[in-house]
Chain A
């Protein structure tokens, strides 16, 4: 097996301590949580940090709770916990949909939502989930906390709004009535990255879509926000034709690249098809909620 190169290792005892260590060791240090993005890259020598700051002891960052009309998820929450959470299942079943198809069970026991979002792989599922839900990211640094909307969080492939000396601490999603959400993914095999994946969320009020979120993974340089689709959906009544149309717009607005997983044409096709399926499922769930 390939092995990582020499490193220094520090263990953070608090968020403040983690931030202080990041500042102390500078830009060649990296925070490590689950480590299932970082360690494989280190083994392949694609990432060569000089110092790893282990934040796994920061239990204060591991929670899923309701507060102030939001669901708040600590950045250190493991994928498995997101999958098992009843609170999330009630409010945002899109999380369980996605977690079922993220990596595999042993990986989900270690990987965290913070790690996945911070890694910002363009094919990463939770980024689409959080974008569709109009979530916000809470980032802590030595000068305090700041809140960043998901559409501003992802700047490009493997690039986020998290700066040097900062760490992602929490994801917040607003709870609104009439919510339904779903995630659809096509992969070559269980555990693989998506060929394309779509997260959809709708909020239905009196039979009409009051708001919608549609985000796509693996079909752009970063998570694609299907804003034209969202505009189309707002104010309309759910229908197969509407969702097909929304899917068509999403398909046009994404920018997939051809690779071993599929051609541009196929990925665009999936963007449309999966958008339609995710929206259909989200709407059904919203209508069940209403009833």
Chain B
């Protein structure tokens, strides 16, 4: 069947099997391999993308179900010229090691900061609690998001 999904601001139309998962649609049909996968049971969160601005696990969405929605992947974060503050934060605070969970973490962090520009440590940990990192022990990921919050130029919230 033919499916049209808006990905990173552009409409992408492909002829696919209905059973195709969004994560494979992104990775195989659109060659957007920044979104990863790591489990079979919707636990690990390596596949997190944004759907209509909110983090979702793209391994648990059919590509067909994404038609009519705005999907945003890691490839849309930052620009040719520069990095999003979240990306910078991950680099500044050593919030990644093998990098496999990183795109998903960045998508969630970006969505969190869009909704809550000054999150507490607790709020950050809760926001990423659906995503596993095996390398960092999470503390530096939290620091990375805090760095982004402090450097993204938004007026500080009331916290």
Contact = CB atoms under 8 A, between A and B. Distances in A.
Question: Are A and B close enough to touch in the complex, i.e. CB under 8 Å?
Answer: yes
Contacts of A40: 40-42, 60
A6 B127 CA distance: 34
B61 A35 contact: yes
Contact count band on B: 20 to 34
Interface in A25-80: 32, 35-36, 39-40, 43-44, 52, 54, 56-57, 80
Interface string B55-83: 11101111011001000000000000000
Contacts, number: 92
Given A104-B129, A104-B130, A105-B126, A35 B19 contact: no
Closest A-B pairs by Cβ, 10 of them: A104-B130, A9-B18, A2-B40, A106-B55, A109-B54, A4-B19, A106-B130, A1-B37, A9-B64, A39-B60
B130 A105 contact: yes
Given A8-B18, A56-B65, A107-B130, A191 B43 contact: yes
B96 interface: no
25 contacts: A1-B21, A1-B39, A2-B40, A3-B21, A3-B24, A4-B21, A6-B17, A6-B18, A9-B18, A9-B62, A32-B65, A35-B61, A36-B60, A40-B40, A44-B41, A52-B18, A104-B131, A105-B55, A105-B108, A106-B48, A106-B54, A106-B55, A107-B42, A190-B129, A191-B130
Interface of A: 1-9, 11, 32, 35-36, 39-40, 43-44, 52, 54, 56-57, 80, 103-107, 109-110, 190-191
B1 interface: yes
A122 B131 CA distance: 25
B85 interface: no
Contacts of B59: 1
A103 B45 CA distance: 12
B116 to A, nearest CB: 12
A4 B17 CA distance: 11
Contacts of A44: 40-41
B24 to A, nearest CB: 8
B52 to A, nearest CB: 9
A221 B76 CA distance: 46
